[in-house]
Copies of this chain bind each other. A is one copy, B any other.
Amino acid sequence: MAEEKKDIMIQFQDVEKYYGSFHALKKVNLTIDRGETVVLIGPSGSGKSTLIRAINGLEPIQEGHLTVNGFDIHDPKTDINKIRKRVGMVFQHFNLYNNKSVLENVMLAPRIVNHIPEEENEKYALDLLDRVGLKDKAGSMPSMLSGGQKQRVAIARSLAMKPLALLFDEPTSALDPEMIGDVLRIIQEIANDSDLTSLIVTHEMNFARKVANRVIFMADGQILEDSKTEDFFNKPTSERAQQFVDQVLDH
């Protein structure tokens, strides 16, 4: 498996995922190259979170191969933490460590996982907080931040591990409308960084249009559409996708 083509970052081959008897991912095939920015959309319950969490090993798969950065996640010999170190994840509900300050949230994993020297670690963490506009909140506890601020810290926390890929699971859907803009702007900046691979689940269609190279549409655990962004928004091939886009853009 380590002989994958060098420019493939994430590859699903006939992946099947079950929750008990519920079939959540059905024969999923998907290849994402290094540096790509891919947006994943689809109705609620279609399996978007399941797919994205599988990449990070948060959900085990039952069948098929899922190769991330050259390692097969489904192979029991693979050390999942090796993958996670290089693949960051940003959650809908932020999942900041409630018991740690903002700065500690960013510094903890580099310190205890990558053993970065304290000084270097702090400097980089503060740089990142600066980049997301929150250097002045370094000493605050998560509970004192607004949703938008929390999400920006979560993004900085992921970046601190110098990831090759970042996964975003509805990063703005728990935010007040006013806060959404700031977070999307930062995600866009990160995605434009040509080295980084991004996979983003979102309902913000305008944003998707601006940022994505490709759009993937899922329904009922299947990938129904995988197209260039402009093609997708001009005319989705499947009726289900058309219907979805209409509904989301309607009001």
- Identify the A interface with B (CB < 8 A): 43-44, 146, 176-181, 184, 203-204, 206-207, 244, 247-248, 250-251
Contacts and interface: CB of A to CB of B under 8 A. Distances in A.
A251 B44 contact: no
A248 B178 contact: yes
Contact of A178 (B146, B177, B247): B247
A180 B244 contact: no
Contact of A180 (B176, B204, B207, B251): B251
* Copies per assembly: 2
Given A44-B176, A176-B44, A247 B203 contact: no
Please give me the 10 A-B residue pairs with the lowest Cβ-Cβ distance, nearest first: A44-B176, A177-B203, A177-B248, A178-B247, A181-B250, A181-B251, A43-B178, A184-B251, A180-B251, A206-B251
14 contacts: A43-B176, A43-B178, A44-B146, A44-B176, A44-B178, A44-B179, A177-B247, A177-B248, A178-B247, A178-B248, A180-B251, A181-B247, A184-B251, A206-B251
Contacts of A203: 176-177
A4 to B, nearest CB: 36
Contacts of A179: 44
